[in-house]
Amino acid sequence: MVGVSRSFNPRTGEAFGPELPDTTPAELDDVLGAAVAANARWRSAPRAERAELLRAIATSLDADTARLAKLADDETALGVDSLAGEVGRTTFQLRQIADQVDDGSYLGVRVDLASTEPLPVGHPDLRRTRVPIGPVAVYTASNFPFAFGVAGGDTASALGAGCVAVVKAHPAHPQLSEAIAGHISSVLQERGLPAGIVGLVRGFEAGRLLVTDARIAAAAFTGSFAGGRALSELAAKRTEPIPFYGELGSVNPVFVTPQAAGRETLAADYVASLLLRNGQFCTNPSIFVVPAGSGVRQAVSELVAAAPAAPLLAPAVHDLFKKRRSLLAGIAGAQVVSGVPADAAHDWFVPPELVTLTAADVLASIDAVETECFGPVGLLVEYADPGEAVALADRLRGCLVACVHGGENDELGAALVERLALIAGRVVWNGWPTGVAVTAAQHHGGPFPATTDAQHTSVGAEAITRFVRPVAYQSMPSSLLPAELR
Amino acid sequence: MVGVSRSFNPRTGEAFGPELPDTTPAELDDVLGAAVAANARWRSAPRAERAELLRAIATSLDADTARLAKLADDETALGVDSLAGEVGRTTFQLRQIADQVDDGSYLGVRVDLASTEPLPVGHPDLRRTRVPIGPVAVYTASNFPFAFGVAGGDTASALGAGCVAVVKAHPAHPQLSEAIAGHISSVLQERGLPAGIVGLVRGFEAGRLLVTDARIAAAAFTGSFAGGRALSELAAKRTEPIPFYGELGSVNPVFVTPQAAGRETLAADYVASLLLRNGQFCTNPSIFVVPAGSGVRQAVSELVAAAPAAPLLAPAVHDLFKKRRSLLAGIAGAQVVSGVPADAAHDWFVPPELVTLTAADVLASIDAVETECFGPVGLLVEYADPGEAVALADRLRGCLVACVHGGENDELGAALVERLALIAGRVVWNGWPTGVAVTAAQHHGGPFPATTDAQHTSVGAEAITRFVRPVAYQSMPSSLLPAELR
């Protein structure tokens, strides 16, 4: 039996639109065959041609922003304005990667001319660059249908690096995935480039087969811990293992020192960050750690209690959210504040929730606390003294981002920054974890379980290096060197 | 029952020296405890202190070169002069990594000042550096007892990066491993640094436990395919998987085009490269691909037939060599030329061997051909036309290094370089694979099965990056930033 993907209206719980059948193994074989054939062409495409393709895809998406954002909102309820902004972020990213490809510094070119030093033998002429790694499998995310979608950062990085991509569409936005793939196809066709440069597949089984297929050379994934871990193990068990760049979701801590606890907008800013896209951010402020008796808890509780119910983006997210929410609420010592319940006309909506615990409670139930709850649940933790806050920081596992709100000459703040740098990919001072700037210095990654590869990032200038590998050329005549090494 | 390591004289087959017991699980626990305690100190050591430690270890080893080389030769029979040279290479490497640590460019520092661009939101101040990854397990190699030994490139990279190392001694040189560890201990003690900065363990079981222990954050391995693959799977299956940098041995091709086949010293240079350290190089020229009827085969056959038997470095190498040699000689179509057999007084010595095949034979038995034979066996392959040579290059698997001997405007040479860059970490023109220069542009790595991580190198300026991971600091006050980001 072949499964199907169908759009789902998160505001009503109703399915809509065409039934899109899962990719069969035979179809997947065709997609991969086309990818390999296209790879031979694309890996030797001049960098200028690759950059131009990325810019053309950006132009095509930009021109269709309104329709695409509407379609995405119909399928995910993440909000038309927010999604239109995300289109802009995605096309900005495509152009930024295009600039990097033109620039070429990601190749890490290094030239050592032949030398008689060091004694006794010297060394020959050695020149190193980076070459495309081969066809890349891209697993798109539910919560950023553009930025981590079919034309998102992973696909852009792969194409920019000179790799073809086979993209697994996310079941939460099947029609949007088709629409974005349509833009890419048109742009490829206009240029006379093979359609196999970007393939699209659908369905759980196709995703599993993709990462185990010998024709795939690397994989990038953004999604759940369970899914990412399973795929990463498949990648490692292959006859020829491949790099697997998985972002598996993250429990991100935000610490507040006594010096910062009195700030007027702290509670409101926290709740705003917590409820962005109804809590469906991988950089969600999962654990908010505040001084006991500082009034932060009271202020946050009031804001959450007044916050309305809102939709979650897909039925699977719904189901998992309910389980995780119960797990958190069931921790010994937990006190729960709920937001405004959904009325009868919106029974698919979920109210936000705040779970409060003491630091001692958290240390006694660290595994439950460290299980990501994707959706509008905040965990607020009160510490009795600085030692408890530091002890908690020492117990946390790897995360994408950690924040400290502190003051000047803040000893506790300094101690926390030092410790959080040991477990986080990004450490923020007096700010919130949501919002990942697309800049050269950005690092969107972090130690396991936040990702399966703490040394790479999926956002920023280094993202493209996931899909190249170094090659050194020794004593090579200039005419046989890649252009950048001559 | 606790196993023991004992030195073995490869020239006589006799054991000698003390019985050194394997590290017990309880002892390993102590070593790891000391490593974790030392890590807290070492990860925050200023870079100048780290560089100074590496230089002091180099100075200590240099001063003891004669004794160390003699001890290494007693245990491995790799040759006193060659081993003394390797001490120099190892201390050169320690100093080169020290220079890199002083220089700091391996940190990949990137600063993006806060900006109102790009519209609409701009971005905050973001600064990225790299931080030590944590305690590193180092698995030393049999065939380079210094350069890939207790104070070899992996240990030096880890210490330079700010990580502590727990080193598994190789059973082929247990006394030498102790001697080198003794140098490191003395240098640490002189500086008042914790002994746990470099731990030493012995035995197969300790090696297995090491990579699975939660206190180890990364592993570097140089050795056999079977051992490296097994350890890399253990690393991937951990509750928290860790990076595993394995160099698993490699089948390195050397192609000769018709333009180059007539060169006078070609056969002699090939045999010299083949028999370096009696064939026990990971960059050994495993497959020598020459034009049929060019006379190369005849010249090589004569040289191999006249070459004397020589010792292999350890009993385990001996056993595996015999199996692999039979496998190669048993390939359909194989013709075998043997060197001068050992006399009765040296029955532990093995004569070199040349196995010749046609390109068609090789393509029919590619799996056997692609199984590394560690020792003095050359595989010479004759191709009938350029198409056959290219077809063979297209079938080969990942390797550390591939070579092409060609002439000017050599079409076949150009086609081979292009293809070999798809499977090799280094491509050499008119040279031999043995000899890995320690320079910034070097890349000593390559696609699986040559290594488990094609994106990293164990030699050259990039080796240190294996043991750091990026962290971005956002809106961080200067006083809380790592020094290099201020």
Q: DSSP letters of B337-372?
A: EE-BPP-GGGTTEE--EEEEEEHHHHHHTHHHHTS-
Asked if B241 lies within 8 A of A452 by C-beta distance, the reply is yes
Asked if A470 lies within 8 A of B455 by C-beta distance, the reply is yes
* pLDDT for position B84: 98
Whether the Cβ atoms of residue A229 and residue A73 lie closer than 8 Å to each other: no
Closest CA to B251 of B450, B418, B457: B450
Q: What is the DSSP string of A335-387?
A: EEEE-BPP-GGGTTEE--EEEEEEHHHHHHTHHHHTS---SSEEEEEEESSHH
List CB contacts (< 8 A) between A468 and chain B: 455
Asked if A240 lies within 8 A of B449 by C-beta distance, the reply is yes
Confidence of residue A347 (pLDDT cuts 50, 70, 90): confident
* Partner B, chain A 380-409, Cβ-Cβ below 8 Å: 397-398, 408
Catalytic residue selected from B75, B178, B247, B388? B247
Question: CB count, 10 Å around CB of B413?
Answer: 26
Asked if B427 lies within 8 A of A453 by C-beta distance, the reply is no
Phi, psi of A457 (to 5 degrees): -125, 150
Q: Which of A60 and A347 is assigned the larger pLDDT?
A: A60
Asked if B112 lies within 8 A of A476 by C-beta distance, the reply is no
Asked if B470 lies within 8 A of A440 by C-beta distance, the reply is no
Whether the Cβ atoms of residue B464 and residue B154 lie closer than 8 Å to each other: no
Question: Mean of the pLDDT values across residues A269-292?
Answer: 97
Q: Is there a catalytic annotation at residue A282?
A: yes
Task: Give the alpha-carbon dihedral of B226, B229, B235, B236, to 10 degrees.
Answer: -140
What whole-number distance in Å separates Cα of residue B303 and Cα of residue A171? 65
List CB contacts (< 8 A) between B397 and chain A: 240
Query: Quick check: ipTM above 0.95?
Result: yes
Distance (Å) from the alpha carbon of A147 to chain B's nearest alpha carbon: 16
What whole-number distance in Å separates Cα of residue B218 and Cα of residue B468? 10
A·B CB contacts under 8 A:
185
| Helical residues (DSSP H) of A191-295, grouped into ranges | 204-212, 225-237, 266-274
List CB contacts (< 8 A) between B439 and chain A: 112, 123, 126
Whether the Cβ atoms of residue A322 and residue A413 lie closer than 8 Å to each other: no
pLDDT tens-digit map of B433-454: 999 999 999 999 999 999 999 9
List CB contacts (< 8 A) between A474 and chain B: 426-429, 431
Asked if B452 lies within 8 A of A241 by C-beta distance, the reply is yes
Cα angle A210, A226, A26; round to 5: 20
Give which of B283, B471, B476 to mutate to test A binding, by max A Cβ within 10 Å: B471
Asked if A445 lies within 8 A of B236 by C-beta distance, the reply is no
Catalytic residue selected from B86, B163, B178, B282? B282
What whole-number distance in Å separates Cα of residue B464 and Cα of residue B160? 7
> How many H helices and E strands in chain A?
15, 19
* pLDDT for position B117: 82
Tell me the residue type at B269: D
pLDDT tens-digit map of A104-161: 999 999 999 999 987 667 899 999 999 999 999 999 999 999 999 999 999 999 999 9
* Partner A, chain B 413-452, Cβ-Cβ below 8 Å: 413-414, 417, 421-422, 424-431, 435, 437-443, 445, 447-449, 452
What whole-number distance in Å separates Cα of residue B112 and Cα of residue A28? 42
In chain A, whose CA is at the least distance from the CA of B237?
Answer: A233
Token reading at A46: 């001049």
Q: Show contacts of B391-396: CB within 8 Å, 24+ apart.
A: B391/B359, B391/B363, B392/B253, B392/B289, B392/B359, B392/B362, B392/B363, B393/B253, B393/B255, B393/B419, B393/B420, B393/B423, B394/B419, B395/B363, B395/B366, B396/B251, B396/B253, B396/B287, B396/B370, B396/B423
Note whether A458 contacts B: Cβ–Cβ < 8 A.
Answer: no
* pLDDT for position B1: 55
* Partner A, chain B 22-51, Cβ-Cβ below 8 Å: none
Q: E-strand spans in B151-268?
A: 165-168, 198-201, 218-222, 244-247, 253-256
List CB contacts (< 8 A) between A469 and chain B: 445, 447, 454-455
Q: Residue A471: which of B85, B426, B471 has the nearest Cβ?
A: B426
Q: Residue A417: which of B437, B441, B480 has the nearest Cβ?
A: B480
What whole-number distance in Å separates Cα of residue A200 and Cα of residue A23? 9
Q: What is the DSSP letter of B169?
A: P
Asked if B440 lies within 8 A of A112 by C-beta distance, the reply is yes
Q: What is the DSSP letter of A96?
A: H
| CA-to-CA separations, B36 to A362, B32, B194, B275, B470, in angstroms, rounded | 25, 6, 11, 43, 21
List CB contacts (< 8 A) between A126 and chain B: 437, 439, 441-442
Whether the Cβ atoms of residue B479 and residue B456 lie closer than 8 Å to each other: no
Question: CB count, 10 Å around CB of B21?
Answer: 13
In chain B, whose CA is at the least distance from the CA of A418?
Answer: B480
Distance (Å) from the alpha carbon of A319 to chain B's nearest alpha carbon: 26
Pairing of the two strands A353-358 and A377-383? parallel
Residue keyed to tokens 């001694």: B169
Question: CB count, 10 Å around CB of A480?
Answer: 20
Coil, strand, or helix at residue B97? Answer: helix
Catalytic residue selected from A282, A373, A399, A403? A282
What whole-number distance in Å separates Cα of residue A455 and Cα of residue B106? 13
pTM above 0.80, yes or no: yes
Asked if A110 lies within 8 A of B428 by C-beta distance, the reply is no
Asked if A236 lies within 8 A of B240 by C-beta distance, the reply is no
Give which of B99, B163, B432, B455 to mutate to test A binding, by max A Cβ within 10 Å: B455
What whole-number distance in Å separates Cα of residue A336 and Cα of residue A329? 7
* pLDDT for position B184: 98
Closest CA to A35 of A154, A222, A164: A164
Cα angle A401, A407, A412; round to 5: 70
* pLDDT for position A79: 97
In chain A, whose CA is at the least distance from the CA of B230?
Answer: A237
Asked if B241 lies within 8 A of A439 by C-beta distance, the reply is no
Contact residues for B60 (Cβ-Cβ < 8 A; gap 6+): B183, B184, B186, B187
Tell me the residue type at A25: P
* pLDDT for position A74: 98
Task: Give the alpha-carbon dihedral of B149, B150, B156, B158, to 10 degrees.
Answer: 110
Phi, psi of A242 (to 5 degrees): -125, 155
* pLDDT for position A372: 87
What whole-number distance in Å separates Cα of residue B275 and Cα of residue A410? 64
Low-confidence stretches of chain B (pLDDT beneath 70): 1, 119-120
List CB contacts (< 8 A) between A447 and chain B: 240, 469
Find how far residue B370's CA is from the centre of its chain.
Answer: 18
What whole-number distance in Å separates Cα of residue A164 and Cα of residue A216? 10
pLDDT tens-digit map of A403-434: 999 999 999 999 999 999 999 999 999 999 99
Residue keyed to tokens 């993250």: A250
> How many H helices and E strands in chain B?
15, 19
Whether the Cβ atoms of residue A393 and residue A422 lie closer than 8 Å to each other: no
* pLDDT for position B344: 86
Residue keyed to tokens 């290099």: B484
List CB contacts (< 8 A) between B449 and chain A: 240
Q: Residue A470: which of B417, B443, B477 has the nearest Cβ?
A: B443
pLDDT tens-digit map of A176-227: 999 999 999 999 999 999 999 999 999 999 999 999 999 999 999 999 999 9
Reply yes or no on whether the pLDDT at A345 is more than 90. Answer: no
Q: Show contacts of A362-369: CB within 8 Å, 24+ apart.
A: A362/A287, A362/A331, A362/A392, A363/A391, A363/A392, A363/A395, A364/A332, A365/A331, A365/A332, A366/A395, A368/A327, A368/A328, A368/A330, A368/A331, A369/A251, A369/A287, A369/A328, A369/A331
Asked if A472 lies within 8 A of B443 by C-beta distance, the reply is yes
Whether the Cβ atoms of residue B398 and residue B452 lie closer than 8 Å to each other: no
Token reading at A106: 């990601």
Whether the Cβ atoms of residue A138 and residue A167 lie closer than 8 Å to each other: yes
Q: E-strand spans in A173-212?
A: 198-201
List CB contacts (< 8 A) between B124 and chain A: 431, 437
* Partner A, chain B 118-137, Cβ-Cβ below 8 Å: 118, 120-121, 123-124, 126-128, 131, 133
What whole-number distance in Å separates Cα of residue B288 and Cα of residue B296? 10
Sheet of strand A244-247, all strands in order from the earlier edge strand to the far edge: A198-201, A165-168, A136-139, A218-222, A244-247
What whole-number distance in Å separates Cα of residue A251 and Cα of residue A396? 9
Q: Is there a catalytic annotation at residue A247?
A: yes
* Partner B, chain A 90-109, Cβ-Cβ below 8 Å: 92
Token reading at A464: 């493209």
Contact residues for B438 (Cβ-Cβ < 8 A; gap 6+): A123, B89, B92, B93, B96, B459, B460
